[in-house]
Amino acid sequence: MNNGLQAKAGLLTVFVIGIATFSVSGFEERPEAPISLEELSRRGVQGRLGLRLGTIAEIAGTIVPNPSTFKGQSQQNYLIRVETIDGAELKSPVLFNPESVTAPESLPVPTIGSTFQMIAYETGRYSGAPRDLFKYVPPAQTYGHSFHTNIVVVIPKK
């Protein structure tokens, strides 16, 4: 290989490594600015069902087995699989833990394989321990501060 070609190859290698380093480290270190409460209220939040949180809809689906052995995920042996919203089939069903569904106490405990239909809405909240909490209080078993959604049943239909 001649010296001119080697020099060009060397410069290209340095350029590619420099771009890769910038791409990996340059953007990772700068978190996005938080959304203001005013903007959040104005724009809303899209939930796991694909609707703006607080949108009332008819949802339907099936009660399915909970395959998880990690009981921190759900204490129940079943999950709630939402398959349709307002009669339209979802591209991908959405699973909810039973603990994340607020329903009337009169609603019977579902059985695996049974179907449901209800008027409901998805809402959300933050829970868990913020990153620096244990600098100020004794450590406790918890999970990171994060946003979670849940379903609120307005009227069970089936």
Nearest-angstrom CA–CA distance, 108 and 157: 12
- Provide the whole-model pTM: 0.71
Helices (H), the chain: 3-28, 37-43
Give the tens place of pLDDT for each residue, 28-60. Answer: 456 788 888 899 889 999 999 999 999 999 999
Question: What backbone torsions phi and psi does residue 129 show, to the nearest 5 degrees?
Answer: -90, 125
The helix/strand/coil state of 99 is helix
Question: What backbone torsions phi and psi does residue 126 show, to the nearest 5 degrees?
Answer: -90, 145
Give the tens place of pLDDT for each residue, 63-81. Answer: 999 887 655 556 678 889 9
Cβ atoms within 10 A of the Cβ of 139, count? 8
